[in-house]
Amino acid sequence: MADKVVVKNLFKIFGPGPSRAFDLMDQGMGKEEIFEKTGLTVGVREADFTVKSGEIFVVMGLSGSGKSTLVRMLNRLIEPSRGEVWVNDENVTKMNAKELNEMRRHTMSMVFQSFALMPHMTVLDNACFGLDVAGMSKPQRHERAMSALEQVGLKTYAESYPQELSGGMQQRVGLARALAQDPDILLMDEAFSALDPLIRSEMQDELINLQEESDRTVIFISHDLHEAMRIGDRIAMMEGGRIVQIGTPDEILKNPADKYVQSFFRGVDPTTVFAAKDVARKSQLTLRWHKGEGYPVAALEQMRQEDRSWAYVLDRHQKFMGVVSEASLEQASERGDQNLSQALLPDVNPVPFDTPLQEILTIVRKYDFPVPVVDENNVYLGVVSKNRFLRTLEHGIDKPQTEATA
Partner 1 sequence: MLDIFNFKEHIIPMEKWVAGAVDWLVGNYRPQFQAVKWPVEQTLNGINWVLQIVPPIIFLIILFAIAWRLSSWKVGIFGVITFLLAGYLGMWEETMTTLAMVISAVVFCVIVGIPMGIIAARSDRFVAFIRPILDAMQTTPAFVYLVPVVMLFSIGTVAGVIATIIFAMPPIIRLTNLGIRQVQSDVVEAAKSFGATPNQILWKVQFPLALPTIMAGLNQTIMMSLSMVVIAALIGAGGLGVPVFEGLNSLRVGLAFIGGLSIVLLAMVLDRITQSLGESKRIQQRDES
Residues that bind partner 1 (CB under 8 A): 75, 77, 97, 100-106, 109-110, 112, 114, 116-120, 129-130, 132-134, 161, 163, 177, 181, 187
In whole angstroms, what is the distance from residue 391 CA to residue 395 CA? 6
In whole angstroms, what is the distance from residue 72 CA to residue 88 CA? 17
Neighbour count for residue 385 (Cβ, 10 Å)? 19
Minimum distance between the CB of residue 374 and partner 1, rounded to whole angstroms? 49
CB-count burial class (<10 Å; 0-12, 13-18, 19+) for 138: exposed
In whole angstroms, what is the distance from residue 267 CA to residue 403 CA? 23
Q: 115 or 312, CB closer to partner 1?
A: 115
Kind and range of the H or E run holding 45: strand 41-52
Q: 114 or 248, CB closer to partner 1?
A: 114
In whole angstroms, what is the distance from residue 344 CA to residue 271 CA? 30
Name the amino acid, one letter, at 299: A
Minimum distance between the CB of residue 108 and partner 1, rounded to whole angstroms? 8
In whole angstroms, what is the distance from residue 268 CA to residue 225 CA? 7
Minimum distance between the CB of residue 91 and partner 1, rounded to whole angstroms? 18
Minimum distance between the CB of residue 117 and partner 1, rounded to whole angstroms? 8
Minimum distance between the CB of residue 65 and partner 1, rounded to whole angstroms? 20
Name the amino acid, one letter, at 130: G
Minimum distance between the CB of residue 214 and partner 1, rounded to whole angstroms? 19
**One-character DSSP codes across 127-152:** HHHHHHHTT--HHHHHHHHHHHHHHT
In whole angstroms, what is the distance from residue 219 CA to residue 187 CA? 5
Q: 185 or 237, CB closer to partner 1?
A: 185
Minimum distance between the CB of residue 157 and partner 1, rounded to whole angstroms? 16
Q: 117 or 323, CB closer to partner 1?
A: 117
Are the beta carbons of 161 and 122 closer than 8 angstroms? yes
Helix (H, G, I), strand (E, B) or coil at 240: coil
Q: What are phi and psi of 111, to 5 degrees?
A: -120, 135
Q: What are phi and psi of 281, to 5 degrees?
A: -130, 145
Q: 103 or 195, CB closer to partner 1?
A: 103
Minimum distance between the CB of residue 399 and partner 1, rounded to whole angstroms? 41
Q: 106 or 308, CB closer to partner 1?
A: 106
Q: 30 or 168, CB closer to partner 1?
A: 168
Reported for 203-206, long-range contacts at CB under 8 A and 24+ positions apart, including other chains, are 203/168, 203/171, 203/172, 203/175, 204/230, 204/231, 206/152
Closest CA to 225 of 270, 180, 191, 277: 270
Minimum distance between the CB of residue 154 and partner 1, rounded to whole angstroms? 18
Minimum distance between the CB of residue 247 and partner 1, rounded to whole angstroms? 28
Q: 129 or 389, CB closer to partner 1?
A: 129
Neighbour count for residue 99 (Cβ, 10 Å)? 13
Q: 116 or 344, CB closer to partner 1?
A: 116
Q: 177 or 277, CB closer to partner 1?
A: 177
Helix (H, G, I), strand (E, B) or coil at 6: strand
